[in-house]
Structure 1
Amino acid sequence: MANGLGTDEDLIRAVIARQFASLSWSEEHAPGWDEFTGDFLAGASLFPAARPAKPMAVADFVDRMRNLSDTSLKALDETVLGVHITVFGNIAIAAVGAEMTENGAETSHSVEMLLLVKSDGQWRIAAQAWDKASAINPLPDTLVSAATSR
């Protein structure tokens, strides 16, 4: 148990669920920018799928997504398909298979990798990177099922 709230894996799964829920919105449901940013350590870097790889600050990512939500991306639904977590002491890595549906029509898949650090009893994201799935680069079988692995 960690703080009587569940195992470290349970707490990390809660962070992941909150991340994906906060980045899902529609015209009736606003994005959760504060929930999204609250799970990151100060100075955390994001690495979007675009290449060459270029780090992005969390605030810059939120500004970009906020602009999209106000203009061309009126609805985004992010769903966790599967998760694999490895914990060692106060550090962890999590691989997440995800599905995104944009504006109720265009669906895509990705794998997101998170580096997490436990500090003051809370798991926070230190870095996050993702890449798009394709026919050439499909989602790993372990991250496709809604049943998550440990």
Structure 2
Amino acid sequence: MPDSQSSSDRDAIRAIIVRQFASLSWSEEHAPGWDDFTGDFLAGASLFPAARPAKPMAVGDFVDRMRRLSDTSLRTFDQAVLGLQITVFGNIAIAAVGAEMTENGDETSRSVEMMLLVKSEGQWRIAAQAWDKASAINPLPDTLVSGATSR
């Protein structure tokens, strides 16, 4: 595959990731973008939150859970991409994202999110997404904190 095509594909995937994080950020002045969030997934895509044991969650169920939280205990939620690595091979790709979340303006946490993406009918979509929380014993990799994007 020509490098220009891979670059174009990485740009399209990067745009999906930026949209994903922006759509799940909200405040009293800014509503979440539920439709933008769900629109980037393939039908039947599974999410795997950090809780263990691992259990797949449908995208709609995740949105319902987050919507309930946004109406009750999670009045503000801000997500930021700290770093990103994308690898494309033909019509499949993986993306690793270092992220930081701030809940209700004061509780900050970090995570790594991994996405499996598939290109179908000229559009990239997320087929599966999983994430895990960062901690002192499980810190973010330096490559996902730099703010840089690669491959």
Normalising by the residue count of structure 2, what TM-score does the alignment of the two structures yield?
A: 0.96
Provide Cα deviations, 1:25-49, integer angstroms capped at 9, x if missing partner: 0011000000000000000000000
Unaligned runs of 5+ in 2: none
The residue aligned with 2:33 is: 32
- Give, in whole Å, the separation in 1 of the partners of 2:150 and 2:127: 22
**Superposition misfits of 4+ residues, deviation over 4 angstroms:** none
Q: CA deviation at 1:145?
A: 1.0
Could you tell me the percent identity over the aligned residues? Answer: 84
**Counterpart amino acid of 1:58?**
V
Residues 61-104 of structure 1: CA deviation (Å, up to 9, x unaligned): 00000000000000000000000011000000000000000000
Which residue does the alignment assign to 1:72? 73
Amino acid in structure 2 at the alignment position of 1:15: I
Q: CA RMSD in A?
A: 0.9
Q: How many residues align?
A: 147
CA distance in 2, matches of 1:46, 1:147: 25
Report the Cα offset of residue 149 of structure 1: 1.9
Task: Indicate the SS of the match to 2:73.
Answer: coil
Distance in 2 of aligned mates of 1:122 and 1:55: 24
Whole-Å separation in 2 of the counterparts to 1:101 and 1:42 = 29
Matching residue's letter, 2:72: T
The alignment status of 1:43 with 2:47, answered yes or no, reads no
1:110 is matched with which residue? 111
AA of the residue aligned to 2:15? A
Cα separation, 1, equivalents of 2:131 and 2:66: 15
For the 8 Å contact 1:20–1:79, the answer to whether it is kept is: yes
Matched residue of 2:150: which SS? coil
- Quick check: 1:22–1:35 contact (8 Å CA) kept in 2? yes
- Length-normalised TM-score, structure 1: 0.96
Gaps of 5+ in 1: none
Q: C-alpha distance in 2, partners of 1:90/1:57?
A: 23
Contact (CA 8 Å) 1:142, 1:149: kept in 2 or not? no
